[in-house]
């Protein structure tokens, strides 16, 4: 039985919930249309401008000389990142150690190689023969110019430079792990190496992967600087061609398109690597899953 004072109040309650009308943002849509129109106009201008000589770009895009330079760029990037992060991880561990000598040496390395521009480092290592004409002892000596070729010099300079920045990235990732977990692991009798391998690094990877991927993409583009020491990377290969044909813009576009392709592929790999290491913290649907849900009329969260 309903109380007589409550009955009139219940009678005034509407049977259906009021319709929620979302706020309209006309300026937002107008701005989006204007930006989209500007982008389309820019793309159309680039595609139809005969001065870009897209036929020449297509003719040289897959030539043997360009592909050889592309392969050297990929190989040099992979070697620089792998060796740089291996050395950088060691430097980060030494920096966090309780030994003041090792920690100081690690700090000094990072300070030195972050202070010197990478171009200066490459030129220095390329001319190291002026300081040490011969390397080795006695009959095991070898001329420096014969040992340190342009490619070897590029690897040495880029790896030493990369390691200084990788050390700070890895150190930041390690410091992001809660110290309480380290104390719990040590209380269970786990060795420091086991704690680092099984607890610290898996969690630190969430903080390491984004800047590490950014460094990888930066290294891919930064390898073009080795052209100054006559290493036949992608940029140097197209330079050799346009120095002969004088078709500067089309050949630079060849290198640009290849860099865009490689950067796009690395960005896709970065997305899935980040997703893998963040699987315990969050689960974001992939673009493919969103597309399938949209086609099915559902929503993926």
Question: Which stretches within the chain are classed as H helix?
Answer: 6-11, 26-48, 54-60, 64-95, 100-115, 118-126, 144-147, 150-175, 179-187, 192-195, 201-222, 234-245, 248-277, 287-296
Higher pLDDT residue, 56 or 131?
56
Q: At residue 282, does pLDDT exceed 70?
A: no
Question: Which stretches within 223-278 are classed as H helix?
Answer: 234-245, 248-277
Task: Report phi then psi at 23, rounded to 5.
Answer: -65, 140
Per-residue pLDDT reduced to its tens digit, 252-264? 999 999 999 999 9
Using CA of residue 235, residue 238, residue 244, residue 248, what is the dihedral sign?
negative
Average of pLDDT values for 217-236?
A: 89
pLDDT at res. 206: 83
Tell me what percent of the residues of the chain surpass a pLDDT of 70: 83
Average of pLDDT values for 26-30?
A: 84
pLDDT at res. 298: 54
Q: Are the C-beta atoms of 122 and 226 separated by less than 8 Å?
A: yes
pLDDT at res. 99: 87
Q: Are the C-beta atoms of 170 and 88 separated by less than 8 Å?
A: yes
Distances 265 to 85, 270, 271, 274 between C-alpha atoms, Å: 20, 9, 10, 14
Q: Are the C-beta atoms of 158 and 221 separated by less than 8 Å?
A: no
The average confidence (pLDDT) of the chain is 83
Q: Are the C-beta atoms of 154 and 229 separated by less than 8 Å?
A: yes
pLDDT at res. 68: 93
Tokens linked to 12: 């005034």
Average of pLDDT values for 294-300?
A: 60
Per-residue pLDDT reduced to its tens digit, 166-195? 999 998 888 887 777 767 777 777 777 777
| Dist CA 278 CA 155 (whole Å) | 32
Per-residue pLDDT reduced to its tens digit, 38-75? 999 998 888 888 888 889 888 999 899 999 999 999 99
pTM attached to this predicted model: 0.77
Question: Residue 238: which pLDDT band, with cuts at 50, 70 and 90?
Answer: very high
Q: At residue 88, does pLDDT exceed 90?
A: yes
Range with the poorest average pLDDT among 222-236, 242-256, 282-296: 282-296
Average of pLDDT values for 136-140?
A: 70
Tokens linked to 252: 């630079």
């Amino acid at each position: 039985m309903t109380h007589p004072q409550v009955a009139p109040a219940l009678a005034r309650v509407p049977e259906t919930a009021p319709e929620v009308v979302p706020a309209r943002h006309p300026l937002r849509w107008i701005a989006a249309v204007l930006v989209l129109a500007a982008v389309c106009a820019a793309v159309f201008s680039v595609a139809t401008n005969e001065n870009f000589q897209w036929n020449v770009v297509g003719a040289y895009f897959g030539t043997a000389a360009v592909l050889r330079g592309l392969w050297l760029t990929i190989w040099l990037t992979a070697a620089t990142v792998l060796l740089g992060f291996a050395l950088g991880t060691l430097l980060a561990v030494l920096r966090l150690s309780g030994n003041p000598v090792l920690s100081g040496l690690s700090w000094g390395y990072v300070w030195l190689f972050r202070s010197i521009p990478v171009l200066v480092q490459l030129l220095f290592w390329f001319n190291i023969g002026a300081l040490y004409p011969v390397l080795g002892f006695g009959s095991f000596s070898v001329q420096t110019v014969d040992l340190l070729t342009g490619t070897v010099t590029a690897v040495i300079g880029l790896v030493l430079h990369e390691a200084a920045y990788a050390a700070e990235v890895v150190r930041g990732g390690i410091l992001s792990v809660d110290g309480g977990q380290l104390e719990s692991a040590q209380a269970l009798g786990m060795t420091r190496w086991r704690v680092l391998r099984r607890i610290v690094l898996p969690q630190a990877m969430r903080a390491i992967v984004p800047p590490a991927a950014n460094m990888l993409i930066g290294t891919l583009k930064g390898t073009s600087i080795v052209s100054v020491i006559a290493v036949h990377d992608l940029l140097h290969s197209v330079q050799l061609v346009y120095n002969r044909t004088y078709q500067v813009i089309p050949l630079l576009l060849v290198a640009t398109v290849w860099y865009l392709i490689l950067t796009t592929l690395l960005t896709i790999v970065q997305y899935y690597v980040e997703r893998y290491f963040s699987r315990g913290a969050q689960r974001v649907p992939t673009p493919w899953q969103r597309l399938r849900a949209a086609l099915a009329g559902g929503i993926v969260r």
